[in-house]
Chain A
Amino acid sequence: MTETASRDLFPGALEMMILESLRRRPAHGYALVQHIQQRSNNLLQVEEGSLYPALQRLLKAKLVKADWGVSSTNRRVRTYQITASGLRHLEQQISSFERMFEGITLVLNPGRSPAN
């Protein structure tokens, strides 16, 4: 809801990171939290309060699928896997994110901005 959106970096960022993590390796919720935290050198704290609704959204959009299984640590877990349409979606998202990031950088970096 509105609160989660404001805690996100920007709308869709969390979903993108989840999909990217899952592209490397299928994982369950807890592992996703750990993984994103480690990969970002603890810069990004994923809140469970946002993670699970996001996972449900992805499930509903059929970008990921979930199966009950057993983890490497021998725990019963629900493992999420990226789907083919999830992969396509991720690629689109990343390319549009890169363009946006480039735009933001141009605006924020006055030296390279043609307008100044």
Chain B
Amino acid sequence: MKNIWTIAKREYENYFNSPLAYAVAVGVLFMLGIYFALILYVSSQQSFMGGGIPEVAPLNWLFVFLMIFLSPALTMRLISDEARMGTLELMLTAPVRDFELVAGKWLGALLFVLSIALITIIYPLIVNNFVEPGIDWLVMLSSYLGLILVCAALLALGTGISAIFSNQFAAFFVTLGLFFFLWFMVSLPANYLPVGGEVFNYLSISTHFSQSMNNGTIALGDIVYYLSLTALGLFIGSTAVEIRRWN
């Protein structure tokens, strides 16, 4: 398990050498900043008319939504690039299990994304200072737990797909396509099916977050869903690495 941490640490530090990772971080924070300003503006207009307090949970929704499009850029090169550069041979002849390699890469990416998420905590903190009696921190906690789980699942799937390809752009587009499908498309049949629609709803990566954890509802089913996706991603990654050995 120590190997996972060693690999994660290197991968995390590596992001700070990568212009792409900075672009992702800046992009996310810029969009969230604009959205936050907008939320404040709208709620100030509403409070004139006796309206409510600013909602911060939508910011986490936007963070997760942006990750659908941006996280493939963070995971695309994790393993594919090592295969292309030949450094995978180093990793595969070091005393490291295939799973530890994949899990370490994934953890490094997750830590990087969570570092960005950590910065966004200033938004609830700001709002908390301006409203009485403060915001509901339990809802925020649930929202951030959801955010962590969604990101963990997305990044695990991305890492797994990166292990399949030797070309990082192939990995990027396949990952993006899968996320797009899981977010927008998989729940579509639910609206047309007379029975069994819930199954498709359950498969959607967005519903467990936007309609549940982001509103303060922590359900076991949602947690299991994201943890299963994470496990699936890491399993795909380890298997793909093992298959590489045989070729």
Q: Do A and B bind each other?
A: no
B positions within 8 Å CB-CB of A: none
